Amino acid sequence: MVRGLRFWLAADDIAVWLQPNVPIRSKRLIDQVVKKLIAFDADSCVTCYEVNQIPEIMKVINSAGRLTPVYPQVVNYRRQDFSKRYLLDGSVVAIRTKNLYEIRGIRKPHVYLGKEILPLIQKKREYSIEVDTAEEVSLVTYYLRKKK
């Protein structure tokens, strides 16, 4: 088991993963994710949230110390011209266990989710906060106090 990862079986063929650095979850969220995966023919169901950043117009610093486009071929710069973007938040992931067996030894981002991934979109940002910095601890503390 990888440190910090928690899996358990929700059914014979479904594993549920709650990342411990996402401490606030809405009521019945785990049930919603598992039920959605069961209801549809997919490999996994994950919680995610909408982001407003557009990777296609981001820049990187090259070896000369200058900003250059990540994707030079992109010609659109209006936010409205791009599709909505979503980021997995790690709050709840339900995975068909067969995926975990099939990807043994393969190292790619999110390969364990399979090819057919269902989203469960978190509407409130507080349910998608990943605590990786002191600033995020303060933000989670704020939301927890607000709930009382």
Highest mean pLDDT among 102-106, 115-119, 124-128, 131-135: 115-119
The CATH architecture that domain 7-147 belongs to is Alpha-Beta Complex (3.90)
Domain parsing of the chain, residue ranges = 7-147
Measured from the Cβ of residue 25, the count of other Cβ atoms closer than 10 Å reads: 16
pLDDT at 49 over 90: yes
CA distance 30 to 7: 12
Give me the chain's average pLDDT, please. Answer: 87
pLDDT of residue 11: 58
Measured from the Cβ of residue 99, the count of other Cβ atoms closer than 10 Å reads: 18
How many secondary structure helices (H) and strands (E) does the chain include?
3, 7
Burial (Cβ within 10 Å: 0-12, 13-18, ≥19) of residue 33: buried
